[in-house]
Structure 1
Amino acid sequence: MAMTKNIVLLFTLILFHNLSYTQTQPWQGKFEPIDNMISPPNSYRTASGAPGKAYWQQRADYKIKATLDESNNTITGEETITYYNNSPDDLSYIWIQLEQNVNRKGNEDFGSFYNDIKDSINARQMQFLTRAIDFPAGYSIKYIKDVNGNSMKSLVNNTMMKVLLTEPLKSGSSLSFSIAWSYPITDRSMYFLSREGYEYFPEDDNTVYLIAHWFPRMAVYNDTEGWQNKQFQRLGEFALEFGDYSIEITVPEDHIIASTGILQNSSDVLTKTQQNRLNEARGSFDKPVMIVTKDEAENNEKTKSAKQKTWKFKASNVRDFAFASSRKFLWDAQAVKLSSNTVMAMSFYPKEGLPVWKEESTKAIKNALEVYSDATFDYPYPVAISVNTSNIGMEFPMISFNGGRPKNGKISNAAKQGMIGTIVHEVGHNWFPMIVSSDERKWMWMDEGLNTFLHQRTVAERYPGFRSTTPKSIVPFMSGDKNILRPIMTTSDSELLTQFGNNFYMKPTVGLQMLRNSIVGRELFDQAFKEYANRWKYKHPNPADFFRTLEDASAVDLDWFYRGWFFTTDNVDMELTDVKWFKVNEEEFNNKDQKKTVKLKIEGENSGGKAKDFSSGPEAITMTSTPDGSYGGFLSRIDEPELRKQLSGKNIYEITIKNIGGLVMPVTIEWIFTDGSNEIDTLPAEVWRRNEYEIKKTFLKEKEVSKVNLDPNFEFADTDMKNNTFPKVETPSEFDAFKAKKTNN
């Protein structure tokens, strides 16, 4: 009975302590699991982050015949779609994407981003605002028919078309139907952020056509959302199903086509010389081979053939199809050997891209293929193509349209770096999202952020002299006004135009760099990242799948990081508020019965202040013998004479750090000693678990310290480095010197 009373008393004391604590310390949840913030696991998506045994996804195969009419800049096409319903649901209707409708007057467009008139505005911006020069745009649907030739009813809602089925499409069955359509290709100069269209060259009266999201395409139907029928608003990109493509494209006879897929009829559309050069390129691993030379392209520009020819392509297991067509193209190609296959890297560019495109484009493709393959899985497709355009970069399976062009043959070093970076980035999109097929329209960061992370890794490894993204890059953004900042976990079209580059590209990249370099460790992180890529290639992952896989494959609890970095707008700002220097007073131990305490003066202590530096020397502290009662039931004892011996003459430093910015992170501490040497200690983020606002930590050092710095290598995007040092940096010039030293290092 006495034992029971003791237990009750114990629990009462614990309960009282906890209640007292919660009254004085409000609950702080930075280390709580994010389970309630992400979709729960189920039979389709497991708690480990892998696809479940019941995982399914739809499929759509396409057969398309299309004609490009250069005389009036239109495309006319007929397609047959075979749609496979692998879901457990019966579908009474299907949704089809009609992205070209975004260009129609009156539809949602980017004019709203330029919604303020200024006293000085250039003509192009005025066109964005007013569309004073109107132009035709959008699909004309000629018919939609089933396999028996019967018309199918449809309803168009802006960029989405709903096709009503006379009978439900049963789970496990398929449906074939045909659509005939046409649309006017838009002049890319007419639209801000135009991802496709044509570029006209007045000097030689020729055109380069970049043809993308050009045919009606099946929307995604999945286990987490049902139909992904969110409208296309230009910023958020695409969610698409995988399938096989058989494409026939009819163009003027003197055009060269760069395309997704494998050319099926090279003998019909290429000259013998071009075929021979292409065969030579298949064995050229050290340099590109010119398939179409500058002289040949310039001769091609001079006359416009009235005849046509049809190029035939096939592509397997891709989620989209794009192509470029022009008589202006130079064309080079080179073989790239990966561990499991050989890929043809190819570049297409007008003469205006010379000389830099001939020198750098295919090399950049090769570098991207090799680094990305090593970081994830070998590039599985037969070709990787880079096409030069006037501006922007845009990705599609096996092909990308990339800006960056010299003026009169000259290009600045910064512009050249930008061009190469764009090519690497857009080729890299073949992995994210073209194979690891996340929903770009909803979660832009899942493709742009992950891709930019590997893009920056490629630049660091293959172009070490180039400017690259580091944690310091995101500091100005994270120091911004919290009233307008939004978290990474914001849907693509809901982000402010002025923020989306930082929030969807840069901040996820920096976060992954922190995980790789400073939190998880390179070897473990690289394996976990590769695990995610391989689990979800040719599938549709969600944010929860990514978050869970990294933890599952690393055994590192990262919920605190996801919560702060992805779900909030908190920033990192750690303040080194105090450093105290102690030494154990050895005199008191000369006589066991003597309990002498010596306390040396610390500058400012008498007035209740803190020491500004180490000039007043250490404070002496007393270490007494441990009472037997402190050991409880333990019979063994600490060897106190040995402990005193180990502490003899050594320096004890207690540091106090405050979390000003709200974002918890590991703590990296640099100790600079009086002899000029230095040492680094790193504390894991978990040191903030018991108090998310302030921590104290004690260190034992052989040498005397002259200076202490937090985050000395700018690993964690600390937004205010001025409060990271002890002694404090007193003047701007001192801080600039400190910052310059660290930057140079």
Structure 2
Amino acid sequence: MKFIIPFVFSALLFQGLNAQDKPWQGKFEPIDRLVDQPNTYRAASGAPGKDYWQQRADYKINVLLNEQNNTISGEETITYYNNSPDDLSYLWIQLEQNVNKKGSEDFGSLNDLKDGINTRQMQFLTRAIDFPAGYSIKYIKDSNGNAIKSLVNNTMMKVLLNEPLKSGSTLSFSIGWSYPITDRSMFMLSREGYEYFPDDDNTVYLIAHWFPRMAVYNDTEGWQNQQFQRLGEFALEFGNYDVNITVPADHVVASTGALQNPSEVLTKSEQERLAEARTSFDKPVLIVTKDEAVANEKAKSTKLKTWKFKATNVRDFSFASSRKFMWDAQAVKFSDHTTLAMSFYPKEGLPVWQEESTKAVVNALQVYSESTFEYPYPVAISVNTSNIGMEFPMISFNGGRPQNGKMTQRAKEGMIGTIVHEVGHNWFPMMISSDERKWMWMDEGLNTFIHKRTIAERYPDFDQTTPESIVPFMSGDTSIMRPIMTTSDNELLKQFGNNFYIKPTVGFQILRNSVVGKELFDQAFKEYCNRWKYKHPNPGDLFRTLEDATAVDLDWFFRGWFFTTDHVDMDLSDVKWFKVYEESLNIEDQKKTTRGKIEGNNSGEKAMDFSSGSEIIKMNSTPDSSYGGFLSRLNEPELRKQLSGKNIYEVTIKNLGGLVMPVTIEWVFKDGTTEIDKLPAQVWRLNESEVKRTFVKDKEVVKVNLDPNFEFADTERNNNSFPKVDEKSDFDKFKEKS
């Protein structure tokens, strides 16, 4: 094939083929070798394959919360469905409470004293050492009452079956256990336990990963039996739950699932208010008032009540219990059902929790449902405690509490953001059930992406997350950075939030707003969510689905953003200004400028601005021998007339940060008007370190800007303009004020 290039200056259009400053790194090569390969279980399209399978575990549990000695004791029957093609000679069960035991793998995590030690860390190192934490397994029996042997390895228990569990078979067995509930202030990174209120001598209990739970067995790694070390969270199987929770009679219980016996545990007034809430779509209804909660605080019943709950097709179960709880609820209408958005909080949360919590739950349910698929469960609950944000199916534990009844705007935004985020986790990972222990970004990153969209849509006056939000992190110390595609427990704690939450969020914002387009990206994102609803996706399933559902090659983006620690730093290295003259014109006869010189800057030196004028570029005739019949269709005189005197700009852009991105160029003209040109990321394919492109403009340009709307998280703004400007980022301005 021959390229038809009728003019000398048009050769500039193919620049970018010059030698690279750095060796070629294959930034546009497919990422197939970096993720799991497709097979009959996981299709090349990113969808579940024709032979996809996953296990299931149903639970029947009776549990007692003993307030006198702060313990949990329970008995459970697990029915395990082996849907895999494999026979299983043993099972693995998760015992996360054992992470609190002395000698656990997590216990050595505080070992660097160069910056001193704070009081909470010292408390952790002293009191926690002597605390009798962890599970006491009382028995494991089969359905006939026969003992089953087991071996405990830290936070995992191996159940040695009396005979292999055949593919397609089901096994029921029972476990009895107990453990002491931890004081949340005692243990670092605690997601559960109790919070004590000395003023009224009462407690809020947050009960999570409280029962022995089946580990995941899947098609990519067999048993996911990686130890729990606090940072990496959970991988769990779906199932149905039938749970009876026995607590002090004056406690109010918030739980995963639908309450089965309201007439046995609620007063007549509470039942009536709950019924009213089911049809209140515009505001919450108080079910337990402040006065009633205060009365409960003082009564301290010695009797017990059993609250009964059922939950269908969930991967976990959690609850909270306290006599301190106020309780409100509001109905949220979906296409074929109504969900109750509810909040449980002590009086210490007033007034902001009564004003804002359930409202935030409603906002989250609505925006997430619009962005993914409708929320299917009967309840969505926000429970207030101190200094935490933790999610479980249908229920979350959320920090943020006023001091002396007052709350700063920043604290209020943090509280509402936490509630929205944790409610959003009902989708990621509670229904789109990725492996948190291995790939935390798959739930935290995707969830934060929709969480931030919820804040933008429902709370536009709040601080917003934009590509600029990640710049301080991405321009930081690369010696301590890891790629997003780092397993959860191998990330530094201080990098956790940026690398697993904000960086993926910004990445998806860039794809949606600046690469794929909002409508097409939103359709593809929904496709991923619906394909993997109630299933276990891997990173490759997400990447393939986004490409499959958009027809956009995104491997370059996934490779750079997720698999490297490169950053975006595009340098507008040079802009050259030319004007076109016909070959027949005599240079000496050209019109003089007002400065009395030949128009143009032919010194060969790099111009710092446009003040020295344009350079001259000739427009030659197309040779007959090269293009044959093309010349008969080319009106060369007319074309010369059209282009003569036009402004030709050759732009040189260097990739200093390593990440390739689309290029957005803003032209500021002499008359004050502006124009935007956009180039796809593929302009970097043949030269990953430098790109030259040529543009024809009718008007003279006085300034050129790269990424004028800051779409791509460019870490250095000062090299994005010609002429150069000293532009400080919001982060730099903040540092100066500090």
With the shorter chain as reference, the TM-score category is over 0.9
Write the letter of the residue equivalent to 2:694: T
Distance of 1:601 and 1:687 partners within structure 2: 32
Per the TM alignment, residue 341 of structure 1 is displaced from its structure 2 partner at its CA by 2.5
The answer for the alignment partner of 2:92 in structure 1 is 95
SS at 1:189 equivalent:
coil
Q: Kindly provide the amino acid, as one letter, of the partner of residue 177 in structure 1.
A: F
Partner of 1:57: 54
User: 1:417, 1:91 → 2: CA distance?
Assistant: 49
Cα deviation 1:539-585 (Å, max 9, x = unaligned): 00000000000000000000000000000011100100100111112
**Does residue 143 of the first structure (1) align with residue 139 of the second (2)?**
yes
Flag the 1:735–1:172 CA change in 2: closer, same or farther, 3 A. Answer: closer
Please give the alpha-carbon distance, in whole angstroms, between the structure 2 residues aligned to 1:555 and 1:340. 33
1:183 aligns with 2:171: no
Change (3 A) 1:727 1:21: closer
In structure 1, C-alpha distance between the alignment counterparts of 2:221 and 2:434, rounded to whole Å? 13
Give the match's secondary structure for 2:286: strand
Q: Structure 2 matches for 1:353-364, cutoff 5 A?
A: 353-364=349-360
1:86 and 2:86 are equivalent in the alignment:
no
8 Å contact 1:333–1:345 — kept in the other structure?
A: yes
Q: 2:21 touches 2:690 (CA, 8 Å); kept in 1?
A: no
**Aligned AA for 1:631?**
Y
Q: How many residues align?
A: 712
Cα distance in 2 for partners of 1:25, 1:66 equals 63
User: Which residue matches 1:38?
Assistant: 35
Match of 2:249 among 245, 250, 253: 253
- 2: CA distance between counterparts of 1:393 and 1:84? 32
* 1:104 aligned residue: 101
Supply the distance in 1 between the matched residues of 2:426 and 2:730 (Cα, whole angstroms).
Answer: 43
Amino acid paired to 2:438: K
Residue by residue, what CA displacement relative to the aligned partner does 1:421-441 show, whole Å, maximum 9, x if unpaired?
Answer: 000000000000000000000
Q: Which amino acid aligns with 1:697?
A: R
- The CA RMSD over aligned residues, in Å, is 2.1
Q: In the alignment, does 2:318 pair up with 1:326?
A: no
| Cα separation, 2, equivalents of 1:313 and 1:22 | 68
709 and 23 in structure 1: CA distance in 2 versus 1, 3 angstrom threshold: closer
Q: Within 5 Å, give how 1:424-503 maps onto structure 2.
A: 424-503=420-499
Residues 374 and 23 (structure 1), Cα distance of their counterparts in 2 relative to 1, 3 Å cut: closer
Instruction: Give 1:267 shift.
Output: 0.3
- 1:540–1:739 distance in 2 versus 1, CA, 3 Å: same
Per the alignment, residue 736 of structure 2 pairs with: none
The letter for the 2-side match of 1:48 is S
Native 8 Å contact 1:110 1:234 kept in 2: no
Q: 1:283 to 1:738 in 2, by over 3 A?
A: closer
Aligned to 2:415: 419
Answer yes or no: is the 8 Å Cα contact 2:20–2:690 preserved in 1.
Answer: no
Does the 8 Å CA contact 1:600/1:618 hold for their aligned counterparts?
no
8 A contact 2:137–2:177 mirrored in 1: yes
Q: CA 1:636–1:151 in 2, change beyond 3 Å: closer, same or farther? A: farther
Which residue of the partner structure matches residue 370 of structure 2? 374
Q: Deviations over 1:245-296 (max 9, x none)?
A: 0000000000000000000000000011000000100000000000000000
Contact 1:671 1:680 in 2 (8 A): yes
> 1:635 deviation in Å?
6.4
- Please give the alpha-carbon distance, in whole angstroms, between the structure 1 residues aligned to 2:510 and 2:674: 23
Q: Which has the higher contact order (CA 8 A, sep 6+)?
A: 2
Q: Match for residue 669 of structure 1?
A: 665
Question: Structure 2 matches for 1:12-411, cutoff 5 A?
Answer: 26-109=23-106, 112-113=109-110, 115-116=112-113, 118=115, 121-131=117-127, 134-411=130-407
Q: Aligned-pair distance for 1:24? A: 11
Partner of 1:545: 541
Q: 1:132 to 1:138 in 2, by over 3 A?
A: closer
Which secondary structure does the structure 2 equivalent of 1:554 belong to?
A: coil
For residue 492 of structure 1, what is the amino acid of its counterpart? S
Query: Does 2:553 correspond to 1:557?
Result: yes
* Deviation per residue, 1:672-730 (Å, 9 max, x gap): 1111111111110000011111111111112211111111111111111111110012x
CA 1:624 to 1:556, structure 2 compared with 1: closer, same or farther past 3 Å?
Answer: same
User: For residues 291 and 731 of structure 2, what CA distance do their matches in structure 1 show?
Assistant: 56
- Change in Cα spacing, 1:527 to 1:23, as seen in structure 2 (3 Å) is closer
- Asked if the contact 1:114/1:128 (under 8 Å) is kept, the reply is no
Determine the C-alpha separation between the residues in 1 that align with 2:182 and 2:112.
Answer: 22
Partner Cα distance (1:242, 1:668) in 2: 45
For residues 509 and 118 of structure 1, what CA distance do their matches in structure 2 show?
Answer: 31
Q: Check the 8 A contact 1:441/1:492 in 2, yes or no.
A: yes
Q: Which of these residues, 496, 506, 513, is aligned with residue 510 of structure 1?
A: 506
Q: Which residue identity does 1:91 align to in structure 2?
A: L
Give the Cα–Cα distance (whole angstroms) in 1 for the partners of residues 644 and 336 of structure 2.
61
Which residue of the partner structure matches residue 700 of structure 1? 696
Gaps of 5+ in 1: 1-19, 741-745
For residues 714-725 of structure 1, the aligned pairs below 5 Å read: 714-725=710-721
> Could you list the per-position Cα deviations for residues 352-390 of structure 1 after superposition, in whole angstroms to 9, with x for gaps in the alignment?
000000000000000000100000000011100000011
Amino acid across the alignment from 2:243: I
| Aligned position for 2:5 | none
3-state DSSP class of the match of 1:165?
strand
Secondary structure at 2:480 match in 1: coil
Q: Would you say the 8 A contact 1:597–1:622 is kept in 2?
A: no
Contact kept, 8 Å, 1:90 with 1:171, in 2: the verdict is: yes
Residues in 1 aligned to 2:209 and 2:729: alpha-carbon distance in whole angstroms: 50
Instruction: Tell me: CA distance 1:636–1:430, structure 2 relative to 1, closer, same or farther (3 Å).
Output: farther
SS in 1 for 2:479: coil
Question: Which ranges in structure 2 are unaligned for 5 or more consecutive residues?
Answer: 1-16, 592-596, 734-738
Q: Which amino acid aligns with 2:204?
A: V
Structure 2 equivalent of residue 10 of structure 1: none
CA offset at residue 648 of structure 1? 3.5
Q: Counterparts of 2:297 and 2:208 in 1: how far apart (Å)?
A: 24
Cα distance in 2 for residues equivalent to 1:214 and 1:402: 18
One-letter code aligned to 1:116: L
**TM-superposition CA deviations, 1:67-94 (whole Å, max 9, x none):** 0000000011000000000000000000
Question: How big is the shift at 1:630?
Answer: 2.5
Match of 1:676, SS? coil
> Aligned equivalents of 1:633 and 1:153: distance in 2?
87
Structure 1 range deviating more: 27-36 or 231-240: 27-36
Task: Give me the whole-angstrom Cα distance separating, in 2, the residues matched to 1:382 and 1:549.
Answer: 30
AA partner of residue 408 (structure 2): S
Whole-Å separation in 2 of the counterparts to 1:383 and 1:32? 46
Q: CA deviation at 1:25?
A: 8.4
CA distance in 1, matches of 2:134, 2:731: 57
Aligned to 2:636: 640
Mapped to 2, the partners of 1:380 and 1:183 lie a distance apart of 33
Amino acid at match of 1:81: I
Take 1:736 and 1:146, find their aligned partners in 2: how far apart are those partners?
64
Letter in 1 for 2:674: N
